[in-house]
Amino acid sequence: MVLKRIVLTFPHKLVDEPIVYKLVKDHDLVFNILQAKITPKEEGLMVLELKGTKENYAKGIKYLASIGVKLKPLDQDVRRDEDRCTHCGACISICPTESLYVDKKTMKVIFDPEKCIACELCVKACPPRAMIVKF
Ligand code: SF4
Ligand code: SF4
């Protein structure tokens, strides 16, 4: 039996596709949606926990890749270099899990690693490259 957490990124043309339903029905996988950010006309992002036999898991992943879903295992960590962060706020609206937010008292940008799903969207968005991927 396989139990894995993966990050799915899919183009807006797939936003209305019953992707999770097909994983269950056609590939006999059990799922748990950990996070989802799906906006019409934009790229969708979903973090799924998938459980099933090794064979079914492989088939399910193959199906996702075949329809154009980008996949990434959730086995890495994103950290912030506090010395580099200028609290510019460029990362806040990009973060799908609200791991980056403004503390209204100090007006500083806070990073909550507990909420972070390591999607890396903030890494490219951060001008001084303060958000770092740790493997
Ligand atoms: S974009 Fe980078 S520098 Fe700006 S607040 Fe976010 S982590 Fe800090
Ligand atoms: S990697 Fe960055 S954008 Fe993604 S969830 Fe973590 S803090 Fe938010």
Sequence spans of domains, the chain: 2-73, 77-134
Average pLDDT over residues 52-70: 88
pLDDT at 15 over 80: no
Average pLDDT over residues 107-121: 87
Three-class DSSP category at 56: helix
pLDDT band at 119 (very low <50, low <70, confident <90, very high): confident
- The pTM of the full predicted model, rounded to 2 decimals, is 0.59
pLDDT at 62 over 90: no
Q: Which atom of ligand 2 is nearest to the CA of 119?
A: 4
pLDDT at 135 over 70: no
Q: Is 47 in the pocket of ligand 2 (CB under 6 A)?
A: no
Both structure tokens of 100: 């980056």
Residues with CB under 6 A from ligand 1: 80, 85-91, 100, 109, 125-126, 128, 130-131
Distance 84 CA to ligand 1 centre (A): 8
Q: Which atom of ligand 2 is nearest to the CA of 94?
A: 3
Taking only the tens place, the pLDDT of each residue in 29-60 is: 999 998 888 776 778 888 888 999 988 988 89
Check if 2-73 and 77-134 are the same fold. yes
Give domain 2-73's CATH superfamily: ACT domain (3.30.70.260)
Domain 77-134 of CATH type 3.40.50.300: no
Residues 6+ apart with CB under 8 A from 59: 27
